[in-house]
């Protein structure tokens, strides 16, 4: 359809609110003539709410924040819809290398925009391996029906098969929330190819049934389970999964051909005759499917209805209609990296060992992660883990490399770490995931962030989260919603989903998150990672945006418990700014890694509560299979002990801990844009389902603060007594009790069942989460080990022992290693100066020679000419605003010569004076190779001629103290920029008059940059 300016408003020919589409020229009679009805919608600035004539509110996942952009229905008031109307698309017939990366997963990223009331247009096509896809959604306000039109065009040169599953969830469980097929067009309750429509509903009379008009009889190719792989998993007719509908159509597309699918979702009325009315409405839709308002080519391409039978059909008009109008698909970055070192799946321990061994630098590691972020995080198919990527990440990495070169060391030195965007950062925005705080820049770091900087970590970016950390089910901010790294149609969980996905997709080595309820363990379980929530007060929350004071906990997410220990070494401890941490220094171990013992479970008693492994609604075997994983604890030397339910401590104090948290946080910031928590939560920039009316809820009184402190401590003591009575060291709980579910529902039950009763957050107890295997449907599972207050180190150690025994971490196949794209084909990883030459290319200092085959060569052993050296130094410094003089300083360099600007700058900077040839004239001799002594002089002057004492001796036997450039060469050796050639007798030579080769020049400049003299591009050594 045309996507420029919309046509003039037309009087409706049908009930569809489609005024922005161009009228049909030939098939105008196709539409069923009714009167158009008005639809109310929220402004385009949030998940779009559309209210039909009956007052039913349809929440449409369009491109408005949080930008899930699937076109599916999040919920519709009074109906069992929980994420319905999505499509999963599988393209067959392509070579493996050409298949869509997310083949068979939920389609998203159309740029769906509401262009008229209740009508949503695609603004950018999806490119699914050369099949372009668009989606248009239109709501009929009077008929309470949404029309979904999905179009596909094959732009490849081969025939392709496109399987499309349309559907989603209409409830859950086996009770009153379960929706079963109640009627079909063929008269039974089994949906098959003979059916043109089906009606589903719960058993509750006041629940609205949902009907789907599928297509003409014979068009449907099958049904499946939309929560799993619908193309291989049949639709259940009973049990929990009977509510997960997938209606499948198969399209065969010749090269250049297009086809469309039109489905209609009707939300019926409640009451005794609800099913009869829904059946009547679906039968009417199927008898005359309304395709009004669509472009002619799109109507003619509809494959699941017999358009030839519709009134007004004209075969000649269809033949002449041409291709379906489609917007362009956005360009996707090439899946390549400029770094040969592969960071995929690497732990902090791995990275640190390789940096210490000289295999890789922090700069290379950071660049590799940045390359992966560029390829895998943004765009329609991105994971959307990051809200902000640090612009100075490489500078941080170079500083870490310089510290290491100067003899520094540390467990986190040079390690890139992501931060949930609740942590204050003085150099990056801190938004809490809400547009209400867009642009807010704290003046200081959170306590834990400052500790990470002190440890030398590279803070690579701020991770996405659920707005205000509100949700444990999804991570949906005011900008985006994060997708699961292992199962890309699923939720990432919340609220630390961005942190977990950044690590699971190898876009950071580790991350910091927070937990008030489940927000560390749920995303970690969903990503098959590890996390640790310490005892209340083990880690500071100072400078972390709050949700619930005292219960909030800021902690790490990593691949292994060893990595957790490294992070805990840096981030835990007493903070004068957080009174809750007063005991932390006395309670924390001097080194958390000391607790990492594979025998830590030997002789221990692990308690478990049988009911904690039983779901109240899911029947997929997750709880049972996770309980079986308790055997891993036994294998590691523990004994299992059944326990009764834990005590519930009554007397929770009153007052708003939420407002208390906001008050404490706002007090830290002179520039905070809201006066209190009431004001920020009422901002019109908050997502509508999180927004509150402006209230006057006060913060806690001092008496309430003390009462909460007393209550939490009393609760800890009660749980310790309960554990003592059972004789257990820790209590094991499951991570999830069900499969993981798609990312477009609202109900927490359709993210996963997490209702295990785990005590961690409500009491404030140390808990380690470790992946332990797969559930019966192939989803990763975890166990949580919960200890007594202040048993933190012991709990981490037992998690380590479980991790060694289970060895069950899963890795994503949807973010594979990037292809290494070498800068120069004649410089491979084995080259002595590979790192230095790659750095030269990455910085844009050298582009090498372009070869006829499109590649580039560096020619490392060639001597470097003086004009090229001038260009290298000029690009390295990147002087801002420099303008070359109109008269050349050298007689042998003309104003129009290739490197005139660079050579003139070299002269004006005093780096090179050239050769005096008489009468005040100078030559530069641009094509002569530069000698090694002159190179020393160039770099010495570039460093602003440091004040060094002329040497009495030199480090090189072939350079005498009185030689022309002895001072400069001595300085070069003293700073480590050049080591010369070492002889067997312990002496070294410099070979000052030899031409310097291009590879050695790269090494000189690379080492010079590490001196951090502030002369590199941007005023620093980076």
Catalytic residue numbers?
Answer: 420, 495, 519
Ramachandran angles phi, psi of 971, nearest 5°: -65, -40
| CA-wise closest residue to 677 among 436, 449, 464, 441 | 436
What's the half-sphere exposure (Cβ side, CA atoms, 13 Å) at 923?
8
What is the residue whose two structure tokens read 């030579």? 989
Query: SS3 for 738?
Result: coil
Residue 391 makes CB contacts below 8 A (sequence gap 6+) with: none
Distances (CA, A) of 122 to 14, 46, 47, 110, 473: 21, 17, 16, 5, 27
With H, G, I as helix, E, B as strand and everything else as coil, classify residue 73: strand
Question: What distance in Å separates the CA atoms of residue 827 and residue 230, rounded to the nearest whole number?
Answer: 47
CA 617: distance to chain centroid? 30
For residue 712, give the DSSP letter.
H
Token couple for 908: 């004006």
**DSSP assignments along 269-308, one per residue:** --STTHHHHHHHHHHHHHHS---TTS-HHHHHTB-SS-GG
Cis peptide before 66 (omega within 30 of 0): yes
* DSSP summary character for residue 800: H
The DSSP code for 922 is E
- How far apart CA 422 and CA 401 sit, in angstroms, is 28
Say how far apart CA 445 and CA 451 lie, in whole Å: 9
Task: Determine if residue 773 is left, alpha or beta; phi over 0 gives left, psi from -120 to 50 gives alpha, anything else beta.
Answer: left
- The Cα-based distances of 101 to 32, 742, 815, 817 in angstroms read 41, 18, 8, 13
Q: Which helix (H) or strand (E) holds 760?
A: none
Q: Which residues pair with 607 in a beta bridge?
A: 641, 731
Cα 468–Cα 471–Cα 472 angle in degrees, nearest 5: 130
Are 733 and 783 contacting, i.e. CB atoms less than 8 angstroms apart? Answer: yes
Nearest to 467 by CA among 41, 44, 43, 47: 47
**Whose CA is closest to 333, among 268, 294, 380, 296?**
380
> Which residues pair with residue 481 across a beta bridge?
476
- CA geometry: angle 739, 744, 749, nearest 5 deg: 45
Torsion of CA 337, 340, 345, 348, to 10 degrees: -110
CB 751 within 8 Å of CB 511 = no
Q: What angle is formed at CA 844 by the lines to CA 843 and CA 850, rounded to 5 degrees? A: 140
- In 3D space, the residue among 360, 369, 316 whose CA is nearest the CA of residue 341 turns out to be 360
Q: Which residues pair with 116 in a beta bridge?
A: 119
CB 534 within 8 A of CB 548: no
* Residue 817 burial (10 A CB sphere; 0-12, 13-18, 19+): middle
Q: Which token pair is 955?
A: 């480090």
DSSP 446: -
700-709, Cβ contacts within 8 angstroms, sequence gap of 24 or more:
700/549, 700/655, 700/656, 700/657, 700/659, 700/660, 701/655, 704/653, 704/654, 704/655, 704/660, 705/660, 707/653, 708/549, 708/550, 708/653, 708/655, 708/657, 709/550
- The CA–CA distances, whole Å, from 110 to 114, 127, 302, 378, 478 equal 12, 10, 19, 14, 18
Give the single-character DSSP code of 949: P
- How far separated are the first and last CA of the chain, in Å rounded? 48
């Amino acid at each position: 359809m045309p996507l420029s300016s919309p046509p003039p408003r037309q009087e409706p020919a049908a009930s569809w609110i489609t005024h922005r589409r161009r009228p049909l020229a030939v098939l105008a009679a196709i539409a069923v003539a009714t009167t158009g009805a008005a639809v109310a919608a929220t402004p385009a600035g949030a998940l779009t709410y559309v209210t039909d004539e009956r007052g039913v509110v349809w929440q449409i996942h369009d491109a408005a924040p949080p930008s899930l952009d699937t076109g599916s229905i999040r919920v519709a008031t009074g109906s069992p819809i929980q994420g319905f109307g999505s499509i999963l698309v599988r393209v067959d017939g392509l070579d493996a290398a050409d298949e869509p990366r997310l083949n068979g997963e939920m389609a998203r990223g159309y740029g769906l925009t509401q262009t008229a009331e209740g009508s949503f247009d695609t603004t950018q096509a999806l490119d699914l391996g050369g099949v372009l896809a668009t989606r248009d959604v239109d709501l009929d306000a009077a008929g309470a029906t949404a029309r979904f039109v999905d179009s596909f065009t094959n732009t490849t040169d081969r025939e392709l098969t496109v399987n499309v599953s349309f559907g989603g969830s209409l409830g859950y469980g086996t009770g009153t929330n379960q929706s079963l097929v109640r009627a079909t067009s063929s008269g039974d309750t089994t949906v098959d190819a003979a059916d043109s429509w089906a009606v589903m509903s719960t058993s509750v009379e006041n629940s609205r049934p949902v009907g789907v008009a599928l297509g003409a009889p014979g068009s449907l190719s099958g049904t499946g389970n939309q929560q799993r792989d619908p193309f291989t998993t049949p639709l259940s007719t009973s049990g929990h999964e009977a509510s997960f509908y997938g209606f499948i159509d198969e399209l065969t597309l010749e090269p250049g051909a297009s086809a469309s699918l039109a489905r209609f979702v009707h939300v019926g009325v409640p009451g005794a005759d609800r099913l009869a009315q829904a059946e009547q409405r679906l039968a009417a839709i199927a008898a005359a499917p309304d395709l009004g308002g669509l472009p002619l080519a799109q109507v003619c391409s509809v494959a699941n209805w017999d358009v030839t039978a519709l009134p007004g059909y004209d075969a000649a008009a269809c033949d002449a209609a041409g291709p379906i109008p489609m917007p362009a698909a956005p360009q996707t970055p090439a899946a390549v990296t400029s770094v040969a070192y592969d960071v995929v799946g690497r732990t902090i321990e791995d990275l640190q060992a390789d940096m210490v061994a000289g295999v890789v630098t922090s700069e290379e590691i950071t660049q590799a992660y940045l390359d992966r972020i560029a390829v895998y995080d943004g765009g329609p198919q991105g994971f959307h883990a990051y809200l902000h990527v640090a612009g100075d990440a490489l500078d941080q990495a170079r500083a870490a490399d310089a510290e290491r070169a100067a003899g520094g060391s540390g467990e986190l030195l040079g390690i890139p770490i992501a931060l949930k965007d609740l942590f204050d950062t003085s150099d990056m925005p801190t938004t809490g995931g809400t547009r209400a705080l867009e642009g807010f820049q704290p003046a200081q770091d959170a306590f834990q962030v400052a500790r990470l900087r002190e440890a030398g970590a590279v803070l690579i970016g701020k991770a996405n989260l659920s707005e205000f950390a509100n949700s444990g089910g999804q991570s949906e901010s005011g900008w985006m919603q994060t997708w699961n790294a292992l199962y890309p149609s699923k939720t990432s969980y919340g609220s630390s989903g961005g942190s977990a996905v950044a690590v699971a997709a190898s876009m950071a080595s580790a991350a910091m998150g927070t937990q008030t309820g489940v927000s560390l363990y749920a995303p970690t379980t969903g990503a098959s990672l590890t996390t640790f929530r310490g005892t209340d007060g083990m880690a500071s929350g100072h400078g972390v945006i709050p949700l619930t004071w005292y219960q909030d906990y800021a902690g790490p997410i990593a691949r292994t418990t060893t990595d957790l220990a490294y992070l805990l070494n840096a981030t835990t401890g007493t903070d004068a700014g957080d009174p809750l941490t007063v005991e932390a220094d006395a309670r924390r171990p001097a080194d958390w890694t000391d607790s990492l013992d594979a025998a830590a479970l030997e002789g221990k008693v692990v308690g478990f509560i049988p009911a904690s492994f039983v779901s109240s609604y899911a029947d997929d075997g997750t709880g049972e299979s996770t309980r079986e994983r308790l055997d891993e604890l036994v294998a590691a030397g523990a004994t299992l002990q059944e326990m009764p339910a834990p005590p519930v401590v009554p007397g929770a104090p009153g007052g708003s801990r939420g407002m208390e948290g906001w008050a404490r946080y706002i007090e830290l910031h002179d520039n905070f844009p809201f006066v209190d928590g009431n004001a920020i939560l009422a901002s019109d920039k908050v997502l509508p389902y999180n927004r509150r009316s402006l209230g006057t809820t006060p913060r806690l009184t001092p008496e309430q603060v003390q009462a909460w402190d007393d209550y939490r401590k009393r609760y800890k003591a009660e749980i310790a007594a309960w554990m003592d009575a059972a004789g257990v060291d820790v209590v094991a709980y499951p991570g999830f009790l069900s499969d993981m579910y798609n990312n477009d529902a609202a109900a927490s039950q359709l993210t996963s069942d997490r209702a295990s009763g785990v005590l961690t957050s409500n009491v404030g107890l140390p808990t380690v989460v470790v992946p332990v295997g797969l559930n019966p449907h192939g989803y990763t599972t975890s166990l949580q080990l919960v200890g007594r207050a202040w048993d933190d180190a012991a709990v981490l150690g037992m998690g380590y022992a479980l991790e060694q025994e289970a060895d069950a971490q899963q890795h994503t196949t949807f973010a594979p290693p990037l292809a290494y794209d070498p800068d120069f084909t004649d410089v491979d990883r084995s080259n002595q100066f590979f790192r230095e030459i790659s750095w030269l290319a990455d910085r844009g200092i050298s582009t090498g020679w372009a070869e006829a085959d499109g590649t580039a060569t560096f020619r490392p052993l060639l001597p470097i000419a003086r004009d090229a050296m001038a260009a290298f130094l000029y690009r390295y410094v990147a002087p801002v605003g420099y303008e070359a003089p109109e008269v050349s300083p050298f007689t042998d360099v003309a104003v129009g010569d290739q490197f005139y600007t660079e050579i003139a700058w070299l002269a004006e900077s005093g780096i090179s004076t050239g050769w005096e040839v008489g009468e005040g004239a100078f030559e530069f001799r641009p094509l002569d190779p530069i000698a090694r002594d002159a190179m020393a002089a160039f770099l010495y002057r570039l460093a602003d001629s440091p004040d060094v004492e002329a040497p009495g001796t030199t480090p090189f036997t072939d350079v005498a103290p009185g030689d022309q450039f002895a001072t400069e060469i001595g300085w070069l050796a003293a700073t480590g920029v050049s080591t010369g050639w070492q002889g067997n007798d312990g002496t070294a030579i410099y070979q000052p008059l030899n031409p310097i080769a291009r590879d050695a020049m790269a090494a000189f400049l690379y080492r010079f940059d590490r001196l951090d003299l502030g002369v590199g591009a941007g005023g620093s050594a980076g």
